[in-house]
């Protein structure tokens, strides 16, 4: 995983908390010192380290644990909460509200712009978007070939013109065709530094394309210097977000990540290797959860309680109990699961079900399915979601086209809904309280245990 060293020391620190007899000022001081040390080793800015440490300490000394949480669990939750805030807070997912959505990547030489362009293209193509890549690098002759080759590898169209003198000539030549795509990703040329020349070029391209989102690509090996770079690009080039690359190859990633989180341009994606799949959307909660190796059932329950607090969920609860469980409910249930964090994280919170015991890849498949079904449901009409029995073969074909998913995926979703409905009936007797939830988890654990032969 990314930032292995930081993750190891933070986990070790939390183990000390779980192993302690009780929480007192001495333990809190020790914990805060350990966290400071771990963050500093990962090149996080000293001032930032002190401010997060102070926040954790103040809250730990002042706040009383809420009902149902022990003081140790409460302390761990504070650390989790504050670190999530530290790397940017809630999700800053890109919302593609218009078609075509224009996304431009800018940055210095070799930062990983071209590689990231193709990674982002694959990420969204996989989610049913029709993606186009455009190379506007008139600076380095091989750049166009590089992008063309990457596009071929991932099955995404690439437009470029090696004879063009200026990036805007390339834009003008192809812009009529942009409307045929959901997402147009524009790769630009780099320079040694954010020179006036680069600023002018980015501004000129931006004036021509009017990008909906401009992402700055930063190589994480510059550590906390990422802040100055992100700020300069943010001020001069309308940068709206950051892609941090090469997190696989440096111990300084923590510095780059936290430095950008405090600028007006939050981290949107992270690059974890040279291959096109070594890439993920950056989600602070999931990221910190993995960093800390959240390993206890209580924190799962805590998150679960939050996730199920939504009014929608209450309404769903009522409908479920009345036996009327439709696809809208399944959708909301899936959303709530997403709020709780990844399946992997949820599993790692259940005692005795650490990731090591689960066959490799098994959970990835599940998560991918959830993502796919979300796209399927996005392409369904309200009436279909409310009453899936109306889904005729013709409708399934239409939804398949709309969502970019094979028909078998839609049939699998319908089957899942039927099964969930059955399960809901089975659970009907449960009271939905923490105890009920615990019972359910125990049952789940016993069931999975059998299947997976621990």
Ligand X SMILES: Nc1nc2c(ncn2[C@@H]2O[C@H](COP(=O)(O)OP(=O)(O)OP(=O)(O)O)[C@@H](O)[C@H]2O)c(=O)[nH]1
Nearer to Mg ion, 158 or 294 (CB): 158
Q: Which of 199, 273, 402, 414 binds ligand X (CB under 6 A)?
A: 273
Toward ligand X, which CB reaches closer, 58 or 248? 248
396 SS3 class? helix
DSSP 342-389: -HHHHHHHSTT--GGGSPTTHHHHHHHHHHHHHHHHHTS-HHHHH-GG
Cα angle value 71/77/81 (rounded, 5°)? 145
Sheet hosting strand 213-219, strand order edge to edge: 157-159, 131-135, 183-187, 101-107, 213-219, 241-245, 267-271, 279-281
Binding partner of 273, given ligand X, Mg ion, none, CB within 5-8 angstroms per partner class = ligand X
DSSP string for 299-332: HHHHHHHHHTTSHHHHHHHHHHHTT---HHHHHH
Nearest to ligand X of 219, 403 (CB atom): 219
Tell me which H or E stretch contains 450: helix 434-452
- Using CA atoms, how far residue 308 sits from 58, 88, 322, 385, 439, in Å, is 29, 24, 18, 21, 17
- For residue 327, state whether it binds ligand X (rule: CB under 6 A): no
Give the shortest CB-41-to-ligand X separation in angstroms. 21
Residues 243-272 that bind ligand X (CB under 6 A): 245-246, 248-249, 271-272
> Could you say which of Mg ion, ligand X, none residue 107 binds, taking C-beta under 5 to 8 angstroms by partner kind?
ligand X
Span near ligand X by CB under 6 A; candidates 39-47, 107-115, 164-172, 352-360:
107-115
Distance CA 83, CA 447 (A): 34
Residue 224 contacts which entry, Mg ion, ligand X, none (Cβ below 5-8 A, type-dependent): none
In the complex, the smallest distance separating the C-beta of residue 238 from Mg ion, rounded to whole angstroms, is 20
Q: Residue 245: what are its φ and ψ, rounded to 5°?
A: -105, 170
Stretch that binds ligand X, among 108-116, 160-168, 425-433, 437-445 (CB under 6 A): 108-116
Query: What CA–CA distance (Å, rounded) separates 224 from 43?
Result: 6
- In 3D, which of 388, 454, 390 has the Cα closest to residue 421? 388
Binding site for Mg ion (CB under 5 A): 113-114, 143
Pick 135 or 403: Cβ nearer Mg ion: 135
* Residue pair 279/123 in contact by the 8 Å Cβ criterion: yes
Q: Is 111 in the site for ligand X (CB under 6 A)?
A: yes
Q: CA Rg, the chain, in Å? A: 24
Residue 65 found at the interface with ligand X (CB under 6 A)? no
Residue 113: CB minimum distance to Mg ion, A: 5
C-alpha span between 195 and 215 (Å, rounded):
18
How far apart CA 357 and CA 454 sit, in angstroms, is 7
Contacting residue, 85, 109, 173, 225, with ligand X by CB under 6 A: 109
**Residue 170 binding ligand X, by CB under 6 A:** no
Tell me the C-alpha distance between 36 and 289, whole Å.
18
Q: Among 42, 92, 115, 258, which residue interacts with ligand X (rule: CB under 6 A)?
A: 115
| Shortest distance, position 62 Cβ to Mg ion, whole Å | 50
By a kind-dependent CB cut-off of 5 to 8 A, residue 353 interacts, out of Mg ion, ligand X, none, with: none
* Shortest Å, Cβ 29 to ligand X: 37
- Contact of residue 310 among Mg ion, ligand X, none (CB under 5-8 Å per partner type): none
- Whole-number minimum distance, CB 106 to ligand X, in Å? 9
168 touches ligand X by CB under 6 A: no
Contact 29, 54 (CB under 8 A): no
Question: What are the backbone dihedrals phi and psi of residue 293, each rounded to the nearest 5 degrees, phi first?
Answer: 55, 45
d(CA 39, CA 49): 7
Using Cβ positions, the residue closest to Mg ion within the complex turns out to be 114
Q: How far is the CB of 140 from ligand X (least distance, A)?
A: 5
Number of chain positions touching ligand X (CB under 6 A): 22
Q: 35 vs 198, which CB is nearer to ligand X?
A: 198
User: Min. distance of Cβ 177 from Mg ion in angstroms?
Assistant: 22
Please report whether residue 190 would count as binding ligand X according to CB under 6 A.
yes
CA distance 370 to 122: 18
Residue of 9, 38, 72, 107 that binds ligand X (CB under 6 A) = 107
The binding site for ligand X (CB under 6 A) comprises: 107, 109-115, 137, 140, 143, 190, 217, 245-246, 248-249, 271-274, 278
């Amino acid at each position: 995983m990314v930032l292995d060293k930081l993750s190891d020391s933070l986990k070790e620190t939390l183990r000390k908390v779980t192993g302690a007899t009780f929480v007192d000022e001495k333990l809190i001081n020790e914990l805060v010192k350990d966290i400071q040390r771990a963050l500093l080793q990962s090149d996080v800015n000293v001032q930032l380290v002190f401010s997060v440490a102070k926040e954790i300490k103040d809250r730990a000394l002042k706040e009383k644990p809420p009902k149902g949480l022990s003081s140790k669990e409460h302390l761990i939750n504070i650390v989790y909460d504050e670190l999530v805030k530290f790397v940017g807070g809630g999700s800053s997912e890109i919302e593609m509200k218009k078609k075509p959505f224009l996304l431009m990547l800018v940055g210095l030489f070799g930062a990983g712009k071209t590689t990231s362009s193709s990674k982002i293209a694959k990420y969204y193509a996989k989610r049913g978007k029709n993606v186009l890549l455009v190379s506007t690098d008139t600076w380095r002759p091989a750049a166009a070939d590089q992008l063309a080759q990457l596009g071929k590898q991932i099955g995404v169209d690439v437009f470029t013109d090696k004879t063009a003198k200026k990036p805007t000539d390339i834009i003008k030549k192809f812009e009529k065709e942009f409307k045929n795509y959901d997402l147009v990703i524009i790769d630009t040329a780099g320079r040694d530094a954010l020179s006036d020349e680069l600023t002018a070029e980015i501004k000129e391209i931006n004036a021509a394309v009017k990008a909906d989102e401009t992402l700055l690509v930063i190589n994480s090996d510059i550590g906390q210097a990422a802040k100055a770079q992100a700020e300069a690009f943010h001020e001069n080039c309308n940068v709206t977000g950051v892609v941090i690359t090469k997190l696989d190859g440096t111990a300084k990633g923590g510095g780059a990540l936290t430095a950008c989180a405090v600028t007006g341009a939050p981290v949107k994606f992270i690059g974890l290797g040279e291959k096109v799949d070594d890439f993920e959307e950056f989600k602070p909660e999931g990221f910190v959860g993995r960093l800390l190796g959240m390993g206890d059932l209580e924190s799962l329950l805590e998150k679960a309680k939050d996730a199920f607090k939504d009014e929608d969920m209450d309404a769903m609860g009522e409908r479920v109990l009345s036996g009327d469980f439709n696809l809208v409910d399944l959708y909301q249930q899936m959303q709530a699961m997403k709020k709780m964090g990844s399946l992997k994280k949820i599993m790692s919170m259940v005692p005795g079900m650490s990731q090591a015991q689960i066959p490799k890849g098994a959970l990835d498949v599940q998560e991918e399915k959830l993502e796919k079904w979300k796209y399927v449901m996005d392409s369904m009409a309200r009436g279909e979601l409310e009453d899936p029995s109306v889904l005729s073969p013709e409708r399934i074909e239409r939804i398949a086209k709309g969502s970019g998913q094979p028909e078998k995926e839609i049939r699998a979703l319908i089957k899942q809904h039927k099964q969930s409905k059955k399960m809901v009936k089975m659970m009907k007797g449960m009271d939905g309280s923490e105890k009920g939830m615990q019972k359910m988890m125990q049952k789940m654990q016993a069931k999975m245990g059998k299947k997976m032969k621990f």
